[in-house]
Structure 1
């Protein structure tokens, strides 16, 4: 596991005030652990949170979101919303709904995202956006950006290694804004070891 770290990280989109960036790195060695990470992350999330997920196809974005849904106690199977663009999963336990968005096919940036009314959903829900880079940053100054990368092999996923090594991921969680400066990401990184 990578050691959690608290240091400024570059943000290609909407940059918060200096000092309001927190980063934690986590090593995940199996899809079940990615789902566990999602459940643990759900304990930190609250209504109004925007979570952006970045990673190549098959990296584990939907698996992480499935864990978040389980942790939030929402209704319905969390699956990739690629063809419906967005899916709302209401809470079964009085918590926030999960709005799961796949922005892969949206190339109009924030204009197309505005058609989904995410700004209306955001105050009362946890909004998770796959492929949201350069599309949703303007929705909130306080957001969590999760980058999932293969820990072995090249960008194509061809490794020549054992199948269990192909499942290892490096997960970098970067919280932007005052919302994420309380040390929760660092604690999550340390606890998830």
Structure 2
């Protein structure tokens, strides 16, 4: 998928929220400034959670309780954590997973053992983009929950600025 503005990245997060449920783990990867927190901000809006979704880099994790009946959002930034799941255990993500949506930035090699079912979104800057706005988002599903999920709703048109591209989400 191609995203051409921060607002489109937030809209992608709002669309993704419509597919998520308690127990889902979403891993976000990409270089600094790729749009991971912007996507998570939209996800929080779509889930209807309390509090501003900001980067949890220095606090490592933030819990955003739901305003309604939906699940809480646990937003983790594992950038400063060097260890694997052992270091993440202090965050009790395994306890939170069953009743929350957990989004982990920089989680590769650190949180995969939490569950076989996870959705990974890779965000890359477009090569040769002179505006520094264009991003390519590549979703990859792991486990039965995500390899069988219909992600086509993420790729639909109708977003401000022309929507996301019409490419598939086969991962």
Output the TM-score relative to the length of structure 1. 0.79
* Structure 1 residues 93-113: Cα deviation after superposition (integer angstroms, max 9, x where no partner): 110000000000000111111
Question: 1:67 — aligned with what?
Answer: 42
**2:115 is the counterpart of 1:140:** yes
User: What is the root-mean-square deviation in Å for CA atoms of aligned residues?
Assistant: 1.3
* Aligned counterparts, 1:75-86, within 5 A: 75-86=50-61
How far the C-alpha of 1:171 sits from its partner, in A, is: 0.1
3-state secondary structure, aligned to 2:55: coil
Cα-to-partner distance string for 1:87-143 (whole Å, 9 max, x where unaligned): 000000110000000000000111111111000000000000000000000001000
Which contiguous aligned blocks of 4+ residues in structure 1 show a shift greater than 4 angstroms?
none
User: 1:151 and 2:126 equivalent?
Assistant: yes
Q: Please report how far the alpha carbon of residue 190 of structure 1 lies from its aligned counterpart in structure 2 after TM superposition.
A: 4.5
1:173 to 139, 145, 148: 139
1:30 equivalenced with 2:9 (yes/no): no
Q: Deviations over 1:46-81 (max 9, x none)?
A: 000000000000000000000000000000000000
Higher Rg of the two aligned structures: 1
Contact kept, 8 Å, 2:15 with 2:153, in 1: the verdict is: no
Normalised TM-score (structure 2): 0.89
Cα distance between partner residues in 1 of 2:126 and 2:2: 8
CA distance in 2, matches of 1:37, 1:188: 6
* 1-structure distance, mates of 2:109, 2:156: 30
Pairing 1:43–2:18 present? yes
**Which of 123, 129, 140 pairs up with 2:98?**
123
Q: CA deviation at 1:187?
A: 4.0
**1:39 counterpart SS class:** helix
